[in-house]
Amino acid sequence: MRTVELLLDEAADLVVREAWRRLADAGLPSQARHRSPTNSPHLTLASCPELTAPIRWELAEAAAVLPLAVRFTGVVRFERPTSVLAWALEPDSALTGLHRRVWEAVVSDSPSETLNPLHEPGRWSPHVTLGRTRRAGAFTDRRIPELLPGPPPSARLVTLRSYDTETGALEVLEPRP
């Protein structure tokens, strides 16, 4: 499976990594425990089985809007198959427009049953994950508000990349010249 993700600017990246560290130091699930060298704070836009030539073409076009300014809105928790603690992003028209372009790119050349319905426009909740676990209710700890630094009030999304979940390979998806 290939993800399509946006990376944060350096300052926002450091704030997210500090939140990861604080959660880990408190013994809570944290992305800091994910030791892969490819592990970076990011916003997932979509995933698909492969990046075909038509998808790559469209993603290169979509990447031309970067960098994109975004605003964090606070802490959010999801209870899906996994428990997730994250900082939510405001789904303004620029961010949702970019997301829709990426979604349309992956839909254009992927079998529909292979796509994650939670990434579909209208269902997608833009967020940067701080911690995740298979343990239900893991993020009800009352210490969480005092453990976490506040999210940066704003950030820039600067790089569009894809991660191959099978090989671990990263690929930066750049606009065409």
**Cα–Cα distance for residue pair 16/19, rounded to 1 Å:** 5
pLDDT digits (tens, 9 = 90+) for 75-125: 999 987 889 999 999 999 999 999 999 999 999 999 999 999 999 999 999
Q: Give, in degrees to the nearest 5, the angle at Cα 73 between 60 and 98.
A: 15
| pLDDT value for 91 | 97
Residue 27 pLDDT grade (very low, low, confident, very high; cuts 50, 70, 90) = very high
Give the 3-state secondary structure of residue 90. coil
**CA–CA separation, 11 and 72 (whole Å):** 14
Question: What is the DSSP track for 30-61?
Answer: -GGG---TT---EEEEEEES---HHHHHHHHH
| pTM of the predicted model as reported, rounded to 2 decimal places | 0.94
Domains in the chain, please, with CATH?
2-172 (3.90.1140.10)
